[in-house]
Amino acid sequence: MPTTSRRKVAAVCGDGHLRVIEQDSPELKRGTILVDVRASLVSPGTELNGWRGLAQRRKNPDPGAAPRPFGYSNAGTVRRVGEGVTEFQPGDRVACVGAGYALHTDLAVVPHHLCAALPGKVTFAQGAYAMLAATAMHTLRRGEPEFGESVCVLGLGLVGQLTGQLYKLAGNYVIGWDRIDRRLQIAKAWGIDGTVHASAEDEVAATRLFTRGLGLDAAVLANAGECDETVDKLVRAMKVSPDGHPMGRIMIVGWPTFRFDRLIGGMNNIDIRRCSRTGPGYHDDAWETGPAYPPVFLRWTTRTNLDLCLRLIEEGRLNVDSLTTHRIPFSNLDARIDRLLDDADSMLGVIFEYEH
C-alpha cells in the first residue's frame, strides 16, 4: 500500500557531517504501521562509531561515500496501519524499534511487533529509549541474576547505564567502571551502588572491596574496542573457587575485542553469554509482521520486553530522564552536533525532536 509521502531522514555523510536528506517513504505493507515520529534516540556507539568517531571522520573525509541513513529507536503517533494490524489504530502513541525501520526520520514504517503502545505518562522522548532498554532487559535475562549478587558493568554508555539500573532493580549490587567523569556522575545520580574511574583507580582492588572480598558474581561488557587488559582485570575481580578457579558469568552486550583465551584458558571457569538483542523475535521477519509467538511457551519476546520496559519507565523504576543530556531539533541537528563535538564526553542520551 503506497504511503504517497516523502520523508526526511538523518544521514551520515562522507565528510563526517549529519545531514537531513529527503527520500520516498517506504511502502506500508501487511503487518506494518506508518508513524509520525516525534522523538528518536541516538545510540552513538553502534550508529556512528561513537561521537569521537564522527569527529575523526571529519578529519579524514571520504567524499565519494553515499549518505547513510541511521537510527533504530524512535517514538511517535500512528498515522495509518497496514493490513492485518489489529492492536494499533491511527492516533495511538507508540515506541518503535528496529534497524532499517525506526530511523531518525519524521515518517517511519515499522513492523507491528517492533512497536509498543506508550503508557499514558510516558513521553515520546522517554519512549525513544525503548530499543536500548529492551536490549538491557535481554542482557539481564541472559545473565540469570540471583538476588543479592555483585555485578560489574564495564562501560557506562547508554546500554551500560540501563543494564546497571535493571540489575539493581533485580536486587543486585552494581558497580560501574568507566573512564569518563560525566558518565560516572550520571550513574551516581540514578543510584548506582559503586563506581570506579578506570584511568585513576585500581579497578580490581576497588571492586574486591565493593564485594567485601567475595569477588564478582557476574559482569557485563557494555564497552567497545580493544580491552584485553580490562578483561584481565575483570577476571581478577571475579569470585574464586577453593581450587583457584575464577568463576562467574560475563554478558557481552557491547562490541569489545579481546583474546578469547583470556576468559577460557588457564584456570578460568567463567560462562560467557552474548546478549546484543532485544529478545526473541528480532530479525524474524515472519514474527515481526505476523502473529505473535504463543506466550504460554515463550513469555519474553522483543515485544513483551518493550512493553515491560515502558511500564517500568512510567512507574519511575527505570530512570531514562537522568540519561538525557541533550535535546536537539531535527531540523537543526548538524549545526547543534557540530558545536557539541568539541566536548563529546558531555553527550550521553541525545534526543532528536521532530515537529509536524
Q: pLDDT digit string (tens) for 69-108?
A: 999 999 999 999 999 999 999 999 999 999 999 999 999 9
Q: What is the pLDDT of residues 189-233, one digit of tens each?
A: 999 999 999 989 999 999 999 999 999 999 999 998 899 999 999
| Grid cell for residue 99 | 534497524
R_g (Cα) of the chain, nearest Å: 21
In a domain, 1, yes or no: no
Query: Can you tell me the mean pLDDT for 317-326?
Result: 97
Assign 262 a pLDDT band (cuts: 50, 70, 90). Answer: low
Same domain, 140 and 24: no
Among the three residues 274, 306, 323, which one is the final residue of a domain in this structure?
Answer: 274
Same domain, 215 and 108: no
Triad 120, 308, 220: Cα angle to 5°: 130
Count the neighbouring beta carbons within 10 Å of the beta carbon of residue 2.
Answer: 9
Count the neighbouring beta carbons within 10 Å of the beta carbon of residue 149.
Answer: 22
In a domain, 179, yes or no: yes
The answer on pLDDT for 266 being more than 60 is: no
Query: Can you tell me the mean pLDDT for 123-127?
Result: 98
Give me the domain span that covers residue 19.
6-129+279-353
Distance CA 193, CA 184 (A): 11
Same domain, 93 and 189: no
Assign 53 a pLDDT band (cuts: 50, 70, 90). Answer: confident
pTM of the model: 0.95
Among the three residues 240, 274, 308, which one is the final residue of a domain in this structure?
Answer: 274
Distance CA 89, CA 86 (A): 7
> Of 186, 135, 192, nearest to 169 (Cα)?
192
Among the three residues 274, 303, 329, which one is the final residue of a domain in this structure?
Answer: 274
Triad 212, 217, 219: Cα angle to 5°: 110
In a domain, 305, yes or no: yes
Query: Can you tell me the mean pLDDT for 14-21?
Result: 92
Same domain, 149 and 195: yes
Total structural domains in the chain?
Answer: 2
* CATH number reported for the structural domain that contains residue 94 in this entry: 3.90.180.10
By percentage, how much of the chain surpasses pLDDT 70?
97
| Grid cell for residue 136 | 538491557
Strands (E), the chain: 6-12, 18-24, 32-42, 68-69, 73-81, 93-97, 107-111, 115-117, 150-154, 173-178, 194-197, 218-221, 224-226, 239-240, 246-252, 255-257, 269-274, 324-329, 349-353
* CATH number reported for the structural domain that contains residue 186 in this entry: 3.40.50.720
Same domain, 149 and 270: yes
Same domain, 33 and 149: no
The answer on pLDDT for 243 being more than 90 is: no
In a domain, 236, yes or no: yes
Q: Is 62 helix (H, G, I), strand (E, B) or coil?
A: coil
Distance CA 79, CA 109 (A): 10
Distance CA 25, CA 23 (A): 6
Assign 2 a pLDDT band (cuts: 50, 70, 90). Answer: low
- How much is the mean pLDDT over the chain? 93
